[in-house]
């Protein structure tokens, strides 16, 4: 089946079987490998993308369900000239990552979190990121990064 998507600002049409997950289309057909597959059960958040302005787990969504949607992956978050999004820069500056596997999903969830909860407290950030798992950090630098990213997003 043909599925029409708008990915990172580009209108695309992909030919895919009806049972194909969005994460598979992004990684395998569109070669946007920044969206990771961690658990295949929507528990870890490594596959998080922004769809129609909200964070979604792309391993739990059929590509057909995303037909007509506007999708932003980590590859589409930075500016066209390569300037990092404020949240990406904050994760780098605050060392909100270690191995990096969860980072793309964490950043995408953090962008959504800050858009809808721009003044979230430490506790609220931890609660709102509950659907993203990091096995390497103690989350403190992630929380710092989200706070710094939120401030930079508000100032932009």
For the chain, the domains span: 2-75, 86-155
pLDDT at residue 61, as a whole number: 96
Give the pTM: 0.94
Q: d(Cα 110, Cα 119) in Å, to the nearest integer?
A: 12
Residue in the structure block whose two tokens are 């980072």: 103
| Whole-number percent of the chain with pLDDT over 70 | 100
- Rounded (10°) angle between helices 140-155 and 86-93: 140
| CATH homologous superfamily for the domain 86-155 | [2Fe-2S]-binding domain (1.10.150.120)
Alpha carbon distance 62, 59 (integer Å): 8
What value does the mean pLDDT take over residues 71-79?
97
CB 13, CB 2: distance < 8 Å:
yes
Is residue 10 left, alpha or beta, with left meaning phi > 0 and alpha meaning psi from -120 to 50? beta
pLDDT the model gives residue 103: 94
| Mean pLDDT, residues 87-98 | 94
CATH superfamily of 2-75: Beta-grasp domain (3.10.20.30)
- What distance in Å separates the CA atoms of residue 107 and residue 48, rounded to the nearest whole number? 9
- Cβ(23)–Cβ(35) under 8 Å? yes
Average pLDDT over residues 2-12: 97
Please compute the mean of the pLDDT values over residues 101-118 and round it to a whole number. Answer: 95
Q: 13-65: per-residue pLDDT in tens?
A: 999 999 999 999 999 999 999 999 988 788 899 999 999 999 999 999 999 99
């Amino acid at each position: 089946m043909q599925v029409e998507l708008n990915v990172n600002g580009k209108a695309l049409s992909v030919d895919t079987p009806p049972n194909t997950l969005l994460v598979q289309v992004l990684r395998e057909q569109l070669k946007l490998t920044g969206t990771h597959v961690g658990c295949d059960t929507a528990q870890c958040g490594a596959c998080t993308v922004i769809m129609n302005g909200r964070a979604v787990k792309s391993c739990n969504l059929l590509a057909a369900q995303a037909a007509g949607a506007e999708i932003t992956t980590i590859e589409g978050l930075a500016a066209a000239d390569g300037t990092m999004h404020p949240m990406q820069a904050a994760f780098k500056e605050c060392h909100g990552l270690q191995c990096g596997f969860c980072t793309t999903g964490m950043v995408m969830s953090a962008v959504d979190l800050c858009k809808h909860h721009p003044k979230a407290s430490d506790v609220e950030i931890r609660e709102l990121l509950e659907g993203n798992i990091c096995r390497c950090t103690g989350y403190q630098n992630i929380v710092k990064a989200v706070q710094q990213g939120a401030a930079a997003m508000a100032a932009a």
